[in-house]
Structures are given as structure tokens and as C-alpha cells.
Structure 1
Amino acid sequence: MSINVAVLASHNGSNLRALTAAARQPGSAYAVALVISNNSASGALAHAVEQGIAHAHLSGRTHPDPDALDQAMLALLREHDVALVVTAGYMRKIGPAVLAAYEGALVNVHPALLPRHGGPGMYGRHVHEAVLADGDLVSGASVHLLTDHYDEGRVLAQAEVPVLPDDTPDTLAARVLEVEHRLLPATVQQLALARDGDATERGSGA
């Protein structure tokens, strides 16, 4: 048994690639069943095509009305029986309908050790610049529950990365990304195992 996972990504989709690679391993408790991007030219959508994964471009171009976009995403998630939604480099805020339907089943990966360096505007290179500007000795990655407030959901897992004296935002970003590629699939696997176990207990009447 495995659960269906949807991945939302806006750009290259390197974390998506890590998730699909892990999903192919024996014993995986999840399958990447759907990829959604707000960028029609994203590497994430190209990867979905290569892997034969259902995919969609949903954005202000396809749905100028934010409510319609929210409902279209929710309909797709339900159509593909998605149990867990992962945002990985997704540059749009999730709409209220999807947030409500998937409360507790929406996770995001963030390139810092939350609660440090989170919140509006803290994404990508901006995060690593802030880490270096503050003189932090340690950075890393966090996987957390996604809510309607940026980066404020409960942290589920973290992994540390040392900040080196000669680091630049680019060198730090590269090392943090390597950690994300291990941390995110491991965390999704644990969440999938827990959800599958809960479903088995309910089915057995436990």
C-alpha cells in the first residue's frame, strides 16, 4: 500500500526529482501521483512529462480569478486521490479551499532552520543572504506543516549544515539543497507510513 502525493513546484524541481527517485525504491510508502506548477516552462513539469506523472500548469494565466484557481487545484488533487501535498520551491500562496481540505497534510521544505529566516520574502537566495548577514554558524533545511502564514507551521524535521567562513549565498545554497534532497523524501516517507498505518487501523476497526 502507498499513498498518493502531489508536488507543487515553480522552477527546476530538484526536490521533486529527489522525491520521485525515492518513491521508486523498494518499500516506499508513497507515489508521486501529480505535479502542479504555476510556471508552464518549469523543469518540474518537464520532469513530470519524462516520468509519465500526471501534471498541470495552474496559474493566474490559466485562472485569473484566485478563487477559481484554488478550486481547480482542489479538484485536481481530489481527482488523483492525493493524500499529501508537498510544496517544494512553489512560489504561490496556497488558496483557502486547498488549505482547508488538506489541513495537516500540506508540507513545505524551507532552506533554513525555522523559525530563523522564515516569513514573507524569505525564499531562495534571500534566505542564504540573511543567514550570512546575521553571522549564523549553522544553517540547514526544515520540513514543516504549511498554513496560511508563511513558514509558521509546526516543524516536522530539520537537518543542519555548517556555515563556512568563506561561504557565499551560492555555495551555502548548494550545500543546503543537498540536505533538502535527503530530508524531504525521508520526512514524506515517514508521513506516508503514518497515514497508511492510520488508514489500516480504521479499516480494521481498531
Structure 2
Amino acid sequence: MKKIIVFASGSGTNAENIIKYFSNIEIAKVVSVFTNNASAKVIDRAKNHQIPVEIFSKNELLERNILQKIQKIDPDLIVLAGFLLKFPENIIEQYPNKIINIHPALLPKYGGKGMYGMHIHRAIVNNKEKETGISIHYVNENYDEGGIIFQQNVLLTEEDTPETVAEKIHELEQKHFPEIIHRLLDANS
């Protein structure tokens, strides 16, 4: 059975969706959730599924102890699901092409530092974009610049608000993120 570690900073809806998806499939299992936010809802979501949670500070992430904890688990894939800190190069170097992220826009548009969540959805509406979507990509040393694995678009209307864009993106994330993780793990069997 392959092992997945999920990193998340917030509510954890994507993390929980991945946990549920793989609880019904024998190929892999989420074995741990790591978070930099001691009050994140992802903690309760993980614990409700009996998934161990590792809470750490930004400094701990940059030091070697998080890398050492990851190495003890020896994951097949590290999934960033709403993780808001820049991922450290020392971990990226140890796990080339084994760290993926989901981004709530069609990269390279609306990527980079500070581009997450409602910041992106507001910018998309303000710029009167005709479509947006999600991008699942490998993580490298730069925000949102790793190789793209998968993208899915959704059309927008003039009536869309940042909140309705967020709902459309959430639907895409819930449907496609676990499936793409599954496909990646199958390809590396």
C-alpha cells in the first residue's frame, strides 16, 4: 500500500476528500496530515478519520526536523492541499516529482506568492475572465511554477462573483484532485 502525506493550512476540505477517496481504494492511504496552523479545521477532519496530525511552525518547516519526520514515514507522494507556506527546497530535493500541489486557477495565470483562495477569485472577476479552473502541478522551488500534471477549466459568466467562482473551483477540486493522485500513484506502481 502506497503512503500519502497531506500538507494543509486551512479548512481541509480537499484533505478530507482525499482521505475519504483512498479509504475505499487499496492502492494507497493518507498516513499523516501536516499543518502549520494549530487552529486549522483540517486537524479535526484528519482526527475524525483516525489520521495522525503533525503541527509545526514555519521555523520547524525550514529546519531539518520536518524533513526527518517525512523520511520516517517514507511517503510515495506528498500532496499540498491548501498549504500556504513556500515548500522548502531541502524537502523538494529529497522527493523530486513526488510533491504535488493544487492551484485554484489555470496556471501560469494567477500564480505566485500571495495568489491563493479568494485573492485569486477576486482578481479573476475583476479582470472579467471568461474562464478559470484548477491546475495540479509538481512543486519546485518557485511558487506555482512546477510542471503541470493536469488542468480543468470552467466557464464564467458576467454574473459570477468571487464566491460563485470559489464554488465552481471547489467542485473541480473535489472531483479531480483524488483522481489525479490515484492516476499518479498507478503510473508509479
The two structures have a TM-score, normalised by structure 2, of 0.95
Match of 1:155 in 2: 148
Q: Which residue of 2 aligns with 1:99?
A: 92
**Deviation per CA, 1:85-128, whole angstroms, max 9, x where unpaired?**
01111111111211111111110000011111111111111111
CA contact (8 A) 1:142 1:155 kept: yes
Q: What pairs with 1:104-143 in structure 2 (closer than 5 Å)?
A: 104-143=97-136
The total of aligned residue pairs comes to: 189
How far apart are the structure 1 equivalents of 2:188 and 2:28? 10
- When residues 83 and 50 of structure 1 are mapped into structure 2, their CA distance, relative to the original with a 3 A threshold, is same
Distance 2:37 2:20 in 1: 22
Matches of residues 158-169 of structure 1 in structure 2 within 5 Å? 158-169=151-162
CA distance in structure 1 between the aligned counterparts of 2:35 and 2:60, rounded to whole angstroms: 17
Q: TM-score, normalised by structure 1?
A: 0.87
Seq. identity, %: 29
The alignment partner of 1:82 has SS state of: coil
Q: What's the counterpart of residue 51 of structure 1?
A: 49
Change (3 A) 1:160 1:102: same
Cα distance in 1 for residues equivalent to 2:54 and 2:60:
17
> In structure 2, do the counterparts of structure 1 residues 66 and 38 end up closer, same or farther at CA, with 3 Å as the change threshold?
closer
User: Where do 4+ consecutive residues of structure 1 move more than 4 Å?
Assistant: none
Counterparts of 1:65 and 1:106, CA distance in 2: 19
Structure 2 residue aligned with 1:25:
24
Unaligned runs of 5+ in 2: none
SS at match of 1:156: strand
Give the direction of change, closer, same or farther, for the CA distance of 1:54–1:107 in structure 2 (3 Å limit): same
Look up the SS of the partner of 2:188 in the other structure: helix
Partner Cα distance (1:160, 1:95) in 2? 29
CA drift at 1:66? 5.7
2:8 corresponds in structure 1 to: 9
Closer, same or farther in 2 for the Cα pair 1:117/1:7, shift >3 Å?
same
Structure 2 Cα separation of the partners of residues 103 and 52 of structure 1: 29
Task: Choose the corresponding residue for 1:82, options 72, 75, 78.
Answer: 75
Q: Distance in 2 between matches of 1:30 and 1:181?
A: 18
Question: 1:16-72: per-residue Cα shift (whole Å, max 9, x none)?
Answer: 01101110224x522101100001111111112111112110113xxx46642xx12
Larger radius of gyration: 1
